[in-house]
Amino acid sequence: MKFQNTLSLLKSLIIVLILGTNFNCTSDQQNDHTTWSHYGGSPDQSKYFNASQITKENVNQLEVVWNYPVEDNSFYSFSPIIVDTIMYVYGKNNSLIALNAVTGKELWIHTDLRGLSRRGINYWESRDKSDRRLVFTLNNSLQEIDALTGQSITDFGTGGYVDLRIGLDRDPTSIRRMQSMMPGVIFGDLVILGSAPGETFFSPPGYVRAYNVVTGKLEWTFHTIPQPGEFGYDTWPKDAYKYVGAVNVWSEMTVDEKRGIVFLPIGSPTYDFYGADREGTGLFGNSLVALDAKTGKRIWHYQTVHHDLWDYDLASAPQLLTINKDGKEIDVVAVATKHGFVFVFDRDTGEPVFPIEERPFPASEMPGEKAWPTQPIPAVIPDFTRHEVTKETLNPYFSEELKQQWYARLDTAKSGLYIPPSDKYETVTMPGALGGASYGNTGTNPDKGIMYIMAQDYASIYKLSKVVPVEPVLSDDEKNKISTLYAGSCQTCHGEEMKGGGAGPSLINVGARYSYDEFKTLLSEGRGRMPAFVHIEEATVLAMHRYLGGSPNRFRGMMNASEAPEITGPIVASGGVNIPEDTTRAAPLEDYPEDVIHPEDRYTTAYGTEWQALTAPPWASIFAYDLNNGTIKWRQPIGLDSAFTNGDKTTGAPSGTIRKGMVITSTDLVFATGKGGIVYAFDADNGKILWETTLDNESTGQPGMYVVNGKQYLVINASNRFDPTSYDFSKRPGALPKGYVVYSLPE
Q: What is d(CA 636, CA 25) in angstroms, rounded to the nearest whole number? A: 34
pLDDT digits (tens, 9 = 90+) for 45-70: 999 999 999 999 999 999 999 999 99
Pairing of strands 689-694, 698-708: unpaired
Over residues 74-86, the mean pLDDT reads 91
Q: Is the pLDDT of residue 573 over 80?
A: yes
Backbone angles phi, psi at 269, to 5 degrees: -85, 160
pLDDT digits (tens, 9 = 90+) for 86-143: 999 999 989 999 999 999 999 999 999 999 998 999 999 999 999 999 999 999 999 9
Can you give the pLDDT at residue 223?
98
Q: Any alpha helices (H) in 529-635, and if so which ranges?
A: 538-547
Distances (CA, A) of 497 to 72, 136, 472, 487, 742: 24, 38, 25, 10, 39
Average pLDDT taken over every residue of the chain = 87
Q: What is d(CA 706, CA 712) in angstroms, rounded to the nearest whole number? A: 6
Strand partners, 212: 190
Q: Is the pLDDT of residue 382 over 90?
A: yes
| CA dihedral for 391, 395, 400, 403, sign (positive or negative) | negative
pLDDT digits (tens, 9 = 90+) for 202-251: 999 999 999 999 999 999 999 999 999 999 999 999 999 999 999 999 99
Task: Find the range with the poorest average confidence among 19-33, 137-151, 353-367, 637-651.
Answer: 19-33
Backbone angles phi, psi at 328, to 5 degrees: -120, 130
Q: What is d(CA 213, CA 184) in angstroms, rounded to the nearest whole number? A: 12
Q: Is the pLDDT of residue 550 over 90?
A: no
Q: Is the pLDDT of residue 4 over 70?
A: no
Over residues 369-378, the mean pLDDT reads 98
Q: Is the pLDDT of residue 473 over 70?
A: no
Q: What is d(CA 560, CA 575) in angstroms, rounded to the nearest whole number? A: 17
Give which of 180, 199, 201 is closest to 191, Cα–Cα.
180
pLDDT digits (tens, 9 = 90+) for 143-158: 999 999 999 999 999 9
Task: Find the range with the poorest average confidence among 258-272, 328-342, 447-461, 557-571.
Answer: 557-571
Contacts of 328 (CB under 8 A, 6+ apart): none
Can you give the pLDDT at residue 725?
62
Q: Is the pLDDT of residue 655 over 60?
A: no
Task: DSSP letter for 214, please.
Answer: T
Can you give the pLDDT at residue 726?
65
Distances (CA, A) of 606 to 315, 482, 537, 543, 695: 21, 11, 7, 14, 34
Task: Find the range with the poorest average confidence among 535-549, 583-597, 645-659, 724-738.
Answer: 645-659
Q: Is the pLDDT of residue 737 over 70?
A: yes
678-683: list long-range contacts, CB under 8 Å, 24+ apart. Answer: 678/638, 678/639, 678/640, 679/716, 680/636, 680/638, 681/59, 681/60, 681/62, 682/622, 682/636, 683/56
Segments of 514-668 assigned E as strands: 571-574, 603-604, 620-626, 631-637, 662-665
Distance of CA 596 to the CA centre of its chain: 34
- More confident of the two residues 563 and 650: 563
Segments of 418-532 assigned E as strands: 427-429, 442-445, 450-456, 460-462, 465-466
Q: Residue 479: enclosing H or E segment and its boundaries?
A: helix 476-489
Give which of 42, 214, 249, 78 is closest to 135, Cα–Cα.
214
Sheet with 141-146: strands ordered across? 122-125, 132-138, 141-146, 161-163
Q: Is the pLDDT of residue 25 over 50?
A: no
pLDDT digits (tens, 9 = 90+) for 281-339: 999 999 999 999 999 999 999 999 999 999 999 999 999 999 999 999 999 999 999 99
Q: Which domains does the chain have, with CATH numbers?
A: 2-464+606-744 (2.140.10.10)
Can you give the pLDDT at residue 595?
87
- What predicted TM-score, i.e. pTM, was given to this entire model? 0.88
Can you give the pLDDT at residue 177?
83
Give which of 265, 269, 266 is closest to 282, Cα–Cα.
269
pLDDT band at 28 (very low <50, low <70, confident <90, very high): very low
Q: Which residues of 117-132 are buried (b: 16+ CB within 10 A; e: fewer)?
A: bbbbbbbbbeeeeeeb
pLDDT digits (tens, 9 = 90+) for 398-408: 889 999 999 99
Can you give the pLDDT at residue 646?
43
Task: Find the range with the poorest average confidence among 17-21, 119-123, 739-743.
Answer: 17-21
Q: What is d(CA 606, CA 272) in angstroms, rounded to the nearest whole number? A: 11
Q: Residue 522: enclosing H or E segment and its boundaries?
A: helix 516-525
| CA dihedral for 89, 654, 310, 540, sign (positive or negative) | negative
Radius of gyration for the chain, computed over Cα atoms and rounded to the nearest angstrom: 24
* CB 220 within 8 Å of CB 292: no
Can you give the pLDDT at residue 498?
75
Segments of 310-413 assigned E as strands: 319-325, 328-336, 342-346, 356-360, 374-378
Segments of 554-697 assigned E as strands: 571-574, 603-604, 620-626, 631-637, 662-665, 669-674, 678-683, 689-694
pLDDT digits (tens, 9 = 90+) for 484-514: 777 766 776 777 777 766 556 777 767 666 6
Give which of 689, 719, 721 is closest to 703, Cα–Cα.
719
Can you give the pLDDT at residue 240?
95
C-alpha count within 13 angstroms, C-beta hemisphere, residue 187: 27
Q: Which residues of 150-166 are buried (b: 16+ CB within 10 A; e: fewer)?
A: bbbbeebbeebbbebbe
